[in-house]
Structure 1
Amino acid sequence: MARILYVNIPSEGHVNPTIGLVKELVDNGEEVVYLCTEGYRKRIQQTGAEFRTYQVNENLFDELGFTPTEARHPLQFVDFILRGIIEPHVPEILRLVQNESFDYFIYDSMFGWGGSILEEKLGIPAICSITHFVFTEPLELEESADAHGDLDIEALHKQTTSTLERIANTYQVTIPAIEDVFFHHGVSKLVFTSRYFHPDADKLDDSFILPGPSLTPRHDAPEFPFELLRSRYEQVAYISMGTIVNKDVEFYKLCFEAFQDIPVQFVLSCGKETDLDPIGDCIPSNFIIEPYVPQLEILQRVDAFITHAGMNSTSEALYYDVPLVTIPLTSDQPIVAKRVEELGAGIYLDKNSLTPEGLRSALLQVLQEESYKKQAKQIGDSFREAGGYKEAANRLMSLFLKV
C-alpha cells in the first residue's frame, strides 16, 4: 500500500476531476491524504481519503489586483501563481505534513513551480495533475507593450522577477526562468482528457498520461424536475457559464432576447449568488432557471450546451456526446473553444461581439445540423475509450508498485 499526498486548489474544475481517481486509489488499498480548502471537505471525505484544510485569502484577487476575465498578458497569470498560490500556500502545505512520510505526491498544475519546490523539500516523486490542456509551446512573454494599453509590462516583469528571487531564497532552490513557472514538473503528468481531443498531442511524451475525463456521481447535486424537460418541446438546451464568472446579468438578458420565441426548452444555471430579480419580468416561459443544477444528469438529457468552455464543463458535455456553443471568457477557455470548433463539435462565439441574433443563429445551427452531434460523439468515444479514473489509478499504482 502506498501513502499518497494530494494537493489541490479550491476550484470546481480542478477538484471534480480528481474525485473518481482518489476513490479508486483508496478502494485499491492506497492511503490518500488530500489537502484543499474547507468547502471541499465533505466531497473529499466521501472518497475515503483523509482530508486536511489550508486557508485561502478571500480577498486575494482584490489584493493582487488580478481579475481573470480582464487579464491581458501571460505575466499577470505568472504573477498570480507566484504571489497568490506558491508564496502563501507552499509553507502551509509543508507545515501540515511535516515529519510525515509519503511514497509520492500529486499536485495541481496551478501550483506550477511550487510543485517542484514541494517535490524537493518533501524528497519524494511528484505527479502533476492537469485539468486543462498542456502548454506545448513556451509562453509569449515578449509581446509588444503597445498591445496591452496602459498595462506596465516592465514593472510587472520586475515584480515577477523579485517574487521569484524571494521565493527561491526562502527555500534555497534554483530560480527558474519566468516562462518555466507554468512548467509541468514531476515524473509523470496526469492530463484529464484524451489524446484525440488534446491539440498537438504528438508533442506530449510518454511521461504524459491521458486517461480522459474522470466523471463520477456528485452526491451534493440538488434535485431537479427532469419530467419538465420535454413536456412542452422536443429539444432541450442547457446554459451555464461555470462557477466563477457567472454573475453577468446582461448576458442572461441577451439569452432571453435570443431564445424567447424558439420552441426549445432552456435550462439556465445562473449561480448561487446571482440576483435575477431585477430582470424577472424578462424571463421567457421556455426557461427553467435554477441557481445550481445536477449538471451531469442534465447533460445526459439535452441536445446542446451553451457554455464558457471551461475544460471541466466542456469535457462533461462531450463525454455525453452533447455539441456546444462556446463563449469563452478567460484563461484557457478560448483554447478549449477553438479545439471544439476545430473538431466540428461546436461553434465558437466572441464574447465581445455577441448579439442575440448571433447567439440564436449559432444554437439553431448546432441543433439542426447533425454533423455537430456526430463530431461530439467522436470526441465522447475517445473519452470513454481512454479509461477514465480507473485507467488513471492503474497507471499511477503501476508506477509506484510496492514489492
Structure 2
Amino acid sequence: MSGFLFVVPPLVGHINPAVGVAAELAARGHRVAWACPDPGLVARLAEPDAEVFGCAGPVPGADGAQRPAGLRGPEALKFLWEWYLVPLAEAMAPGVRAAVESARPEVVVADQQAFAGALVAERLGVPWATSATTSAELVDPLAGLPRVKEHLHGLLADLRLRIGDPSGTADPRFSPRLALAFSTPELVGPKGALKGDQLRYVGPSIAARPTAPGFPWQWLDSGRPTVLVTLGTANTDVGGRFLDVCLEAMREQADRVQTVIADPGGALGADGGTAPGQEDKDVLIVPSVPQPALLERVDAVVCHAGHNTVCEALWHGLPLVVAPIRDDQPVVAGQVVDAGAGVRIRFGRVSATRLGAAVDEVLHEPGFRAAAGRIRTAFRAAGGAPAAATHLEHLARESR
C-alpha cells in the first residue's frame, strides 16, 4: 500500500479529473489525501469523508479582484499568472508542506495550476507527478511570444526561490518523472510540445457523479435533435449576452431542434420566455444539468471550450460549437476545430444567425460527428482513471 497526496486548486474543472483517479487508488487499497484551499469543494466532488488538508489561498473572486474587461491573448495570460496562479502557489505552500509532513505520501500528484504541489514536493525531496487536466498545457501557446514566455519563466524562477528548492530545474507544470495527460493525441494534435517517456496520455478521467433529482427527463423529445448549451460553473459573470443569443438562435430553430440551456446565474430570467426551472416544448432553461447523464441523450453541445465539458462531450462522440472566453479555452477550442470535431464562434460578438448556422453545421454535416467519434474511440481506449492509477502505482514503487 502506498500513499498519494493530490494537490489541487479550488477549481471544479481541475478537481473532477483527479476524483476518479483518487477513487481508483483508494479502491486498490492505497491511502489518498488532498490539499486544497477549499476543502468543502473537494468533499463535495469526491467523498464526503475524504481526508482534505486545507491550505490558505485565494479562491477566485474572494478578494474582490476583477479581471479587466476585454482582456485577451498574452495580456490575459499574464494577468492569470500574476494575479492568480503565482499568488495561489505562495499562499498554498505552507499548507501543502504541512499536508506532506502529516500524510507522508510516497507520491505527490500536483495539478499543473497548483504550482505549490510540485515546488514543495521538490523542496522536501518527495517524488511528484503532474496532473495535466487541460490539453492546452500540452502544446506551446507561447511559441510565437518569446517575451511573454521569458516573463512567465521568470515568475516561476522567483517562486521557486521562495517556496521550492533553489537548485531545482524542473518546470513545476511538467514532472520529469510522470506527467498524466487527461487527453489523447487525437485531440491535442501534432503540435504537442511535451515529449519524453514521462508523458502518459490516459484520456479523460470521468468518474460517476450523483444525479440530482428534479431534471424533467420526460421533456426530451426523441423525434428531434437535442442541443445542450452550457458555459460551465465559472462564467456566470460574463455569460448573459451569449445565453441571450443562444436562446434567440435556438428558438428560431425550434421546429427542428430542442435545446437545454444551463443558466446557473439566472442570466436569462423570466423574460427569456421560459423561466429557469420551467419548460416548454422547445427550450428548457435550468440552473444546472446532470451533465454526464444528459450527454447520453443529446446530439451536439454549445460551450465555452472548457476542457472538462469538451472532453465529456467528445467522450460521447458529440460534435461541438465552441465559444472560448479566456484562459486555456482558446487553445482547447483550436484543438477541437483542428481535429474536425467542431466549429468555433466568437463569444463576445456572435449573432443569433451565425450561432444557429454553426449548430446546423455540426448537426447535419457528417464529418463533424465522424471526427468526434474518432476521438471518442481514442478516449475510451486510453484507459482513463484506472490507467492513471497504474502509472502512479509504478512511480510509487520506483520511489521506495
TM-score range, shorter-chain basis? 0.7 to 0.9
Give me the whole-angstrom Cα distance separating, in 1, the residues matched to 2:213 and 2:114. 31
Residue 6 of structure 2 is matched in structure 1 by 6
Look up the match of 2:82. 79
TM (normalized to structure 1)? 0.85
Q: Aligned AA for 2:24? A: E
Over 3 Å counting, the alpha-carbon distance change for 1:64 and 1:51 in structure 2 is same
Match of 1:120, as an amino acid? E
For 1:301 and 1:166, the matched residues in 2 are separated by: 46
What amino acid maps onto 1:13 in structure 2? Answer: G
Deviation (angstroms), 1:25? 0.3
Aligned to 1:319, which of 307, 315, 329? 315
C-alpha offsets along residues 179-233 of structure 1, whole Å, 9 cap, x if unaligned? x8664234100111112222234852220111100112212645311221116x5
Could you tell me whether the CA contact under 8 Å between 1:318 and 1:376 is conserved in 2? yes
Q: Of 193, 199, 214, which aligns to 1:208?
A: 199
Q: 1:317 to 1:220 in 2, by over 3 A?
A: same
How far 1:116 sits from its partner (Å)?
3.6
Distance 1:35 1:172, change over 3 A: closer
> Which of 303, 306, 312 is the aligned partner of 1:307?
303
Supply the distance in 2 between the matched residues of 1:14 and 1:23 (Cα, whole angstroms): 15
Distance 1:24 1:68 in 2: 41
Q: Which runs of 5+ in 2 are unaligned?
A: none
Partner of 1:228: 219
Alignment of 1:229-378 (within 5 A): 229-230=220-221, 233-247=223-237, 248-262=239-253, 263-271=256-264, 273-277=265-269, 279-281=271-273, 286-378=282-374
- 1:9–1:108 CA contact under 8 A, matched in 2: yes
Match of 1:19 in 2: 19
SS at match of 1:238: strand
User: Does 1:28 find its partner at 2:28?
Assistant: yes
Q: Distance in 2 between matches of 1:164 and 1:340?
A: 33
Moved over 6 A (4+): none
| AA partner of residue 322 (structure 2) | T
Task: Sort the Cα spacing of 1:189 and 1:167 in 2 relative to 1 into closer, same or farther, 3 A.
Answer: closer
Change in Cα spacing, 1:16 to 1:381, as seen in structure 2 (3 Å) is: same
State the AA in 2 paired with 1:199. Answer: G
**CA distance change for structure 1 residues 50 and 336 in 2, over 3 Å: closer, same or farther?**
same
Give the match for residue 110 of structure 1: 113
Q: Is the 8 A contact 1:236 1:265 kept in 2?
A: yes
1:392/1:77 CA distance change after superposition, 3 Å: same
Unaligned runs of at least 5 residues, structure 1: 145-152
| Helix, strand or coil at the partner of 1:255 | helix
How big is the shift at 1:50?
A: 2.1
Amino acid at match of 2:271: I
1:132 maps to which residue?
Answer: 134
Code of the residue aligned with 1:90 in structure 2: it is A
Letter in 2 for 1:213: P
Q: Is the 8 A contact 2:343 2:358 kept in 1?
A: yes
Q: How many residues align?
A: 385
C-alpha contact (below 8 Å) 1:266/1:286 kept by paired residues: yes
| CA–CA separation in structure 2 for the residues paired with 1:310 and 1:163 | 25
Q: Deviations over 1:142-190 (max 9, x none)?
A: 578xxxxxxxx9xx96x996895476146562487xxx86642341001
Aligned equivalent of 1:188, options 174, 178, 186: 178
**Distance of aligned partners of 1:21 and 1:72 in 2 relative to their CA distance in 1, 3 Å threshold:** same
When the two structures are superposed, what TM-score results if normalisation uses the length of structure 2? 0.86
**What SS does the corresponding residue of 1:184 show, helix, strand or coil?**
coil
Q: Secondary structure at the match of 1:331?
A: coil
Shift of 1:16: 0.9
1:182/1:27 CA distance change after superposition, 3 Å: closer
Contact 1:69 1:331 in 2 (8 A): no
Distance 1:230 1:23, change over 3 A: same
- 2:197 aligned partner, one-letter code: D
Q: Which residue of structure 1 lines up, in the alignment, with residue 383 of structure 2? A: 387
